[in-house]
Amino acid sequence: MVAGYSPLLPFYLSGVLALLTVTVLSFRLRHQPPYPVAATHATPPAVPNFRQTVGILRHDRRLIYFTIGSALGAVVFGQFTGYLSQYLITVSTAEFAYKVIGVVMIVNACIVIALQYLFSRGMRQDNMLRWLTLGTLFFVLGLIGFMLAGQSIWLWAAAMAVFTLGEIIVIPVEYLFIDFIAPAHLKGSYYGVQSLSNLGGAINPVMCGFLLSYAPPPVMFLVLIAAALFSLLFFFLGHRLAERQQPLSTLSSAE
- Quickly state the pLDDT bin for 37 (edges 50, 70, 90): low
| Distant-in-sequence, close-in-space partners of 156: CB < 8 Å, separation ≥ 6 | 100, 103, 104, 145, 146, 149
Q: How far apart are CA 227 and CA 225, in angstroms?
A: 5
Percent of the chain with pLDDT over 90: 35
All structural domains of the chain: 67-235 (1.20.1250.20)
Which pLDDT belongs to residue 121?
A: 82
Q: How far apart are CA 180 and CA 176, in angstroms?
A: 6
Q: Which amino acid, 107?
A: V
Q: How far apart are CA 169 and CA 120, in angstroms?
A: 7
Q: Look at the alpha carbons of 91, 97, 100, 101 in this order and tell me if their dihedral is positive or negative.
A: positive
pLDDT in tens, 143-177: 999 999 988 999 999 999 999 999 999 888 888 88
Which pLDDT belongs to residue 127?
A: 82
Which pLDDT belongs to residue 48?
A: 59
Could you tell me if 52 and 177 are in contact, meaning their C-beta atoms sit under 8 angstroms apart?
Answer: no
| Distant-in-sequence, close-in-space partners of 138: CB < 8 Å, separation ≥ 6 | 162, 163, 165, 166, 169
| Distant-in-sequence, close-in-space partners of 95: CB < 8 Å, separation ≥ 6 | 4
Q: How far apart are CA 93 and CA 95, in angstroms?
A: 5
| Listed residue (189, 133, 188, 135) closest to 163, CA to CA | 135
Which pLDDT belongs to residue 157?
A: 94
Distances (CA, A) of 252 to 12, 125, 186, 209, 245: 58, 21, 19, 51, 11
Instruction: Give Rg (Cα) of the chain.
Output: 21
Q: Which phi-psi region, left, alpha or beta, contains residue 150 (left: φ > 0; alpha: ψ -120 to 50)?
A: left
pLDDT in tens, 85-138: 999 998 888 888 888 998 999 999 999 999 888 888 878 877 888 899 999 999
